[in-house]
Structure 1
Amino acid sequence: MASIDEETTSAEDDEPSVLAAGAICWRKEQGQLEVLLIHRPRYTDWSWPKGKIDPGETTPECAVREVEEEVGLRISLGIPLASTRYPVASGTKLVNYWAARTERMVVRPDGKEVDKFLWVTPTRAAELLTNPTDREPLELLVAAHEDDQLETWPLIVVRHAKAKPRSSWTRAEGERPLAATGRRQAAAVSRLLEAWGPSRVVSSPWERCVQTVAPYLKNKDIKLKLADSITEQDAARKPDKTRSTVEKLFDKRRPVALCTHRPVLPVVFGVLRQHLPEALAGALPAEDPYLAPGEVLISHVSSRSHGRVVAVEQFRAYDD
């Protein structure tokens, strides 16, 4: 499965008037898959945790925030699921969904928007769901479970935020910092990365890359691993070392973000492409500039089949 960036998602013939996001929280109980349903007293319905996007927010950020606000769970997103569309008073509502494993976390309904919850089997959930369109993401979640594609970890590629122009920089290239816009983008990148919560960050040691991930590192209180092999200079001279650095990320099998430069992205994506099944062959950007400054690409890697990427998606951090 693959998802596309949210700008493209909303650019269909039926332009949505309302954009929202949510998640299907799932767990295993004695080997049995269960999903979390919520009851909303205002609508007297059973559905998934979801809500409208706030100004300056991306859909992944919205999904994580809404789940926490409605049921008290702080989640990390898994694979993208189906986006649903249905008519509302103002036109069409588009809701983007993700899977989110929750283990044995405590559910606390907010008592206002949500007054009850149930952990149920997917079969029972399909029976209880009030809106028929809510069954679409559930069907994809079940299919992913049956294909051993539901348990994943994220490998995230970040292009550094907007830097000061090369033409106006007279010192060493590795010291060229972010522009003022880039510093704001870096804060937005941090908020976006929180949706997947990588516990490791690997970066080019050049200043603009380090500055891009610095806000996330500070918020999460984790250490940064620097890799000369993913600088522009080393990737051009010794691309095999660059490839080796990326390949080792798969061996760790832990959520990770890698921050690098535009000229290095073809080498990075070349490694990722080797881990994609044929159905996802076109999921990676293939043309320069590959990613915009501050944009991220998320590869969801199977926890059960080593090195197998089962979904790809990309998002731009909010840019003011």
Structure 2
Amino acid sequence: MHFVRSSDSAGIREGKFAVLAAGALVWRVNGAGLEVLMIHRDRYDDWSWPKGKLDDGETMPECATREVFEEVGLDVELGIPLPAMTYQVGSGQKVVYYWAAKAPNTPAVPDGKETDAVRWVTPKVARSWITNPGDLEPLAALVAAHRDGLLETRPFVVVRHAKAKPRSNWTREEGKRPLAATGQRQALAVARLLGSWRPAKVASSPWTRCVQTVAPYLTERHLTVKLLGSVTEHAATRRPEKAQRTVAKLLDRRRSQALCTHRPVLPLVLAELRARMNGALTPFLPAEDPFLRPGAVIVVHQPVSGKGTLVSVEVYDAFED
């Protein structure tokens, strides 16, 4: 799956890698201030962050959350993306994509296979323990985000509905046109991808193809959907200012949420996102029609602190059979 993250350098975004991996810097704040979770691997006798190789059919965010769970038993939700790092292995260049992840209220437990010890440490201690110098860059980004009040965030996920049956083959009401078989499989992939951030609220155009796109995620998480008539194709064409206001109201709530809508509505959504971020982030947003392919998503993060601006952008292309 092709993807872009605002945290990665041009070299990472444009590079070709023999080995793909992902992980997370799990963090918490207590009486000692900011702490990060380090793991020790007996096989390599090193200290690092929970991470591992990508499985077949998996996306990078899914890999990151799975590896954290397998190695230290923590069921995390991803926060802001952190800089990826690369290093040489036997088969060539390896890249590891990292995210910040706030620790849940459960203890970290080493799996006894890959990981034989876990420790909560301050960033200062982490810098002295880390074995691979490349792992220092994501730590520095996490510490800077914490210092600036931008580490604890809420995801806002924009989903373009999955592939629908062709308009040319549909003679009934446009709003009832359902997903094609490929779209149904894409909807399952969307559910797996959303599971990495677990938006607690889901809003959608009431048209069938949008509702069907988020249905697997809603079922899995036992959630209901909020239907927004202003973000259908027809309504947004007639009253674009109302559609954009709807998106603005969702963002103003600064909560964990997803919105599923249509290609013609995406320019209005993107305009609202651009208005809430600095110029360094805007190039990471899609700029040309069709903006997203069916089943693709954009993830931005909003600081809980109320700092106002969005702090990161990630774009994930659609699942393909």
How far, CA to CA, are the matches of 1:63 and 1:110 in structure 2? 16
Partner of 1:225: 226
Partner of 2:41: 40
Secondary structure of the corresponding residue to residue 125 of structure 2: helix
- Any idea what the Cα deviations from partners look like across 1:62-105, whole Å, max 9, x if unmatched? 00000001100011101100111000010011000000011532
How far, CA to CA, are the matches of 1:94 and 1:68 in structure 2? 20
Task: Note closer, same or farther for the CA distance 1:300–1:11 as it changes in structure 2 (3 Å cut).
Answer: closer
Secondary structure of the corresponding residue to residue 82 of structure 1: strand
**Residue 104 (structure 1) aligned with residue 85 (structure 2):** no
How far, CA to CA, are the matches of 1:63 and 1:236 in structure 2? 39
- Counterpart of 2:115 in structure 1: which amino acid? V
State the number of aligned residues: 317
Shift of 1:176: 0.6
**Residue 128 (structure 1) aligned with residue 129 (structure 2):** yes
How far, CA to CA, are the matches of 1:130 and 1:75 in structure 2? 24
Structure 2 unaligned blocks of 5 or more = none
Query: Which stretch shifts more, 60-69 or 244-253?
Result: 244-253
Shift of 1:316: 2.4
Whether contact under 8 Å (1:57, 1:318) holds in the other structure is no
How far, CA to CA, are the matches of 1:173 and 1:93 in structure 2? 47
How far, CA to CA, are the matches of 1:153 and 1:28 in structure 2? 17
Out of 14, 25, 38, the position equivalent to 1:12 is: 14
Secondary structure of the corresponding residue to residue 29 of structure 2: strand
Superposition map of 1:258-269 within 5 A: 258-269=259-270
Whether contact under 8 Å (1:58, 1:318) holds in the other structure is no
Partner of 1:314: 315
**Residue 145 (structure 1) aligned with residue 146 (structure 2):** yes
How far, CA to CA, are the matches of 1:19 and 1:206 in structure 2? 37
Secondary structure of the corresponding residue to residue 284 of structure 2: coil
Secondary structure of the corresponding residue to residue 278 of structure 1: coil
How far, CA to CA, are the matches of 1:148 and 1:312 in structure 2? 17
Superposition map of 1:269-284 within 5 A: 269-284=270-285
Query: Which stretch shifts more, 233-242 or 103-112?
Result: 103-112
Whether contact under 8 Å (2:22, 2:54) holds in the other structure is yes
Whether contact under 8 Å (1:4, 1:314) holds in the other structure is no
Superposition map of 1:151-162 within 5 A: 151-162=152-163
Task: Note closer, same or farther for the CA distance 1:5–1:116 as it changes in structure 2 (3 Å cut).
Answer: closer
- Any idea what the Cα deviations from partners look like across 1:220-242, whole Å, max 9, x if unmatched? 00111000001000000111211
Shift of 1:191: 0.1
Whether contact under 8 Å (1:58, 1:317) holds in the other structure is no
How far, CA to CA, are the matches of 2:197 and 2:96 in structure 1? 19
TM-score, normalising length: structure 1: 0.95
Partner of 2:5: 3
- Counterpart of 1:153 in structure 2: which amino acid? R
Secondary structure of the corresponding residue to residue 309 of structure 1: coil
Shift of 1:9: 7.6
Whether contact under 8 Å (2:75, 2:104) holds in the other structure is no
Identity %: 57
Superposition map of 1:144-223 within 5 A: 144-223=145-224
Task: Note closer, same or farther for the CA distance 1:64–1:270 as it changes in structure 2 (3 Å cut).
Answer: same
Partner of 2:73: 72
How far, CA to CA, are the matches of 2:104 and 2:249 in structure 1? 27
Secondary structure of the corresponding residue to residue 248 of structure 1: helix
Partner of 1:289: 290
Partner of 2:252: 251
Secondary structure of the corresponding residue to residue 279 of structure 1: coil
How far, CA to CA, are the matches of 1:11 and 1:123 in structure 2? 29
Secondary structure of the corresponding residue to residue 300 of structure 1: strand
Structure 1 unaligned blocks of 5 or more = none
Query: Which stretch shifts more, 293-302 or 139-148?
Result: 139-148
Secondary structure of the corresponding residue to residue 310 of structure 1: coil
Whether contact under 8 Å (1:192, 1:317) holds in the other structure is no
How far, CA to CA, are the matches of 1:25 and 1:122 in structure 2? 12
- Any idea what the Cα deviations from partners look like across 1:16-43, whole Å, max 9, x if unmatched? 1000000000000126000000001111
How far, CA to CA, are the matches of 1:153 and 1:11 in structure 2? 24
Whether contact under 8 Å (1:38, 1:114) holds in the other structure is yes
Shift of 1:281: 2.7
Whether contact under 8 Å (2:7, 2:81) holds in the other structure is no
